[in-house]
Amino acid sequence: MLEQRRFGFLFDGGPAEPVVAAVAAYRNEDGGFGHALEPDGRGPTSQPLHTWTALNLLHEVGDDRFVAGAAGFLASIANEDGGVPNCLATAADHPRAPWWRVSGDSDLLMTALVASVLHRFGVADPWLERATVFCWERVDGMAETHPYEAAACLAFLQDVPDRPRAERAAARLGELVREQGLVDLGEGQAAEGYAAGETHRPHHYAATPDSLARRWFSDDEMTRDLDELVAARADDGGWTFPWPAWTPVTTHEWRPIVTIEALRTLRAYDRIS
């Protein structure tokens, strides 16, 4: 239902309110979101990744009514350094993907994601200030990373208010991504520890032409990548995902999500109207 309403809003001129209502169904009393909004975490409890997913969807349709509650939830689970964990202990008793590892440690990937979307909303919060410092310290000192963390840091740099610093950091991050082989330029590169095809493609980093990551790739590299994205559409009209499906149900939930993202990228690059 959520993806149907989101598709209607993005591509058929549909209203925003049905999207907001669908997202609200995943909200908990603590202000966070759960209930498998992000398909790989199946439990009902609020989790940082579910909450980031909800905030992204709400920003997409221009609605901020749940932002304050979500920011309060994130502040309540943050560590003293401002970072938030990747997966809270409340997920331990519920089905989840093996990469949803319960830990109380501050996680750069997750903190960068939630900080990015809150900055996009223009949130002013003492915890967000600490989270931003945490992200800057980790990004500035980064010597190695992995595709998902690099993409999360890019999201942070895309939205953080200090634009000159963000542009400098994004240039360094792009060099690191290319040096460490964290992008597949059509030659089947695979980052160590990830499934075949799971290494990000240029459009995963630069989903729109105005992305900071667009500067990481030549025009020829982007054109070839977008051509391959078009060719990857399945006979049923949708796209699939490259990471492992740890349970069959997530295949049915992830495919419409990645299909919408593929369509958004193709539209941003004028490949579809």
pLDDT tens by residue, 49-70: 999 999 999 999 999 999 999 9
Q: Which two tokens stand for residue 258?
A: 């990645």
**4: pLDDT strictly greater than 80:** yes
Share of the chain above pLDDT 90, in %: 93
Torsion angle of alpha carbons 66, 136, 261, 234, nearest 10°? -140
Contact (CB, 8 A) for 70 and 32: yes
- d(CA 269, CA 273) in angstroms, rounded, equals 10
C-beta atoms surrounding 127 within 10 Å = 19
- The identity of residue 261, as a single letter, is E
Residue given tokens 């498998």 in the structure block:
36
Q: What are phi and psi of 27, to 5 degrees?
A: -85, 145
- d(CA 40, CA 38) in angstroms, rounded, equals 6
Residue 186 has a pLDDT of 86
- The identity of residue 120, as a single letter, is R
**Model-level pTM?**
0.96
pLDDT digits (tens, 9 = 90+) for 163-193: 999 999 999 999 999 999 999 998 776 677 7
Least confident range of 108-112, 240-244, 254-258: 240-244
Q: Which residues, in sequence order, are CB contacts of 64 under 8 Å at separation 6+?
A: 58, 121
pLDDT digits (tens, 9 = 90+) for 107-152: 999 999 999 999 999 999 999 999 999 999 999 999 999 999 999 9
